[in-house]
Amino acid sequence: MKILSVNAGSSSLKFQLYEMPEENALVSGVFERIGIDSSFYTIKFNGEKIKKEVDLPTHKDAFTILLKELMDLGIVKNLDEIKGVGHRIVQGGSYFDRTVVVDEDVIAKIDELSALAPLHNPAAIVGIRASQEVMPNAVQTVVFDTAFHQTMPEETYLYALPYEWASEYKIRRYGAHGTSHKYVSARMNEILGRNNTKLITCHIGNGASISAVKDGKCINTSMGLTPNAGLIMGSRCGDIDATIVPYMMDKLKVNSKEMDTILNKQSGLLGVSGISSDSRDIEEGISKGNHRCELAQKMYVRRIIDYIAKYYVELGGCDAIIFTAGVGENSISTRREVLDGLSVLGVKVDEERNNVRGKETLITSDDSSIPAYIVPTDEELMIARDTYNLCI
């Protein structure tokens, strides 16, 4: 059975086609600059990369071209071979704790939650509608980044704010990256050979979050109402004293939207270093003796250590620490610095094992009190799995 995993942005459409249940990735790619001049798409198939410039007025046009390419390449003979399409949705609120089949009520709820994910949820609806038009016989599903975190207890997901804010305005912790945390925690249970585990999953990329996962269920996560909570990220500040916001709005004479831009797009590694939001650029700056890059990295690592230590206590121990996503999978120095900071817990990094990028492997020594692993994430596969299960 062929299942298509898609992630629609306001001007983009990422995709990956799988043969299920074998979980064989057949083809992947992305359509970019949809509705904008100079649009194009790239497709990766059989080890080759195909790039074509083409007019892409709408997401429907992108889906239409995608399906034509799949047939021209001989991947499918007709559209009905694609039995399911799974759509990534950033914000599902408290409505959804699992992947569901699309209907009008589901779309209405996704639209209602657009205020909490204004760049993502509306674009996802556009993608769903386009997919429905082009592939009317396929089962359309929605996979929520927030769903995995719906197992958090009330005392964890609520903020110490007027209680009515949660019911009236939906102010609570939702988290993000749930599809990634779900995938790597499930994979870690496979590696350990059991499901009764206490895991700390670290999705460390330009956006970053850490989750505490007990027996396969999330009990806490670092992101909050929005992705700008918890860790220091590429351009997001993460946790700060809330009173800084009105204080600096007054000082800078900026409005709420302008302050939101500063906190989300001008802070984090970028704000401290003054150079870049990219961890690789920060590491390069450190190699050149740039003090602000050194400071940014120390702050970045310190916050990761803080959350791992916090969740270690909350879980009552830990069976494994997992690093995933761009920085987690590829930054040798960041992983080493984080694990060195946990030495008080008996964690011992193995320099040789850790000297890898993007490979599933153990990176701590055999006598480390807690094993740490790199587990490359695969959110597209997780979407395909959930969609396949709703198609059979």
pLDDT digits 0-9 by tens, 250-266? 999 999 999 999 999 99
User: At which of 80, 109, 144 does a domain end?
Assistant: 144
Asked whether residue 135 falls in the same domain as residue 33, the answer is yes
pLDDT of 119 reads 74
User: At which of 144, 177, 206 does a domain end?
Assistant: 144
Alpha helices, DSSP H, located in 232-378: 244-252, 256-265, 268-273, 279-287, 291-315, 325-330, 332-340, 351-354
- How many whole angstroms separate alpha carbon 336 and alpha carbon 120? 34
Asked whether residue 345 falls in the same domain as residue 263, the answer is yes
CA distance from start to end of the chain = 9
Per the domain annotation, does 153 fall within a domain? no
Asked whether residue 79 falls in the same domain as residue 216, the answer is no
- Residue 105: give the domain boundaries: 2-144
Asked whether residue 215 falls in the same domain as residue 364, the answer is yes
Residues whose CB falls within 8 Å of the CB of residue 121, separated by 6 or more in sequence, listed in order: 89, 90, 91, 110, 111, 113, 114
pLDDT digits (tens, 9 = 90+) for 163-217: 999 999 999 999 999 999 999 999 999 999 999 999 999 999 988 999 999 999 9
Q: Provide the number of structural domains found in the chain.
A: 2
Task: Tell me the two tokens of residue 281.
Answer: 């650029």
The CATH number of the domain where 250 resides is what? 3.30.420.40
Residues marked active site are found at: 145
268: left (phi over 0), alpha (psi -120 to 50) or beta: left
Per the domain annotation, does 197 fall within a domain? yes
Per the domain annotation, does 176 fall within a domain? no
Model pTM score: 0.91
Question: Along the 392 residues of the chain, how does pLDDT read in single tens digits?
Answer: 999 999 887 788 899 999 999 999 999 999 998 988 889 999 999 989 999 999 999 899 999 999 999 999 999 998 889 999 999 998 999 999 999 999 999 999 999 998 888 878 988 898 899 899 989 999 999 999 999 999 999 999 999 999 999 999 999 999 999 999 999 999 999 999 999 999 999 999 988 999 999 999 999 999 999 889 999 999 999 999 999 999 999 999 999 999 999 999 999 999 999 999 999 999 999 999 999 999 999 999 999 999 999 999 999 999 999 999 999 999 999 999 999 999 999 999 999 999 999 999 999 999 999 999 999 999 999 999 999 999 98
Asked whether residue 361 falls in the same domain as residue 248, the answer is yes
162 preceded by cis ω (within 30°)?
no
- CB of 11 closer than 8 Å to CB of 32: yes
Per the domain annotation, does 81 fall within a domain? yes
User: At which of 125, 144, 163 does a domain end?
Assistant: 144
Asked whether residue 76 falls in the same domain as residue 201, the answer is no
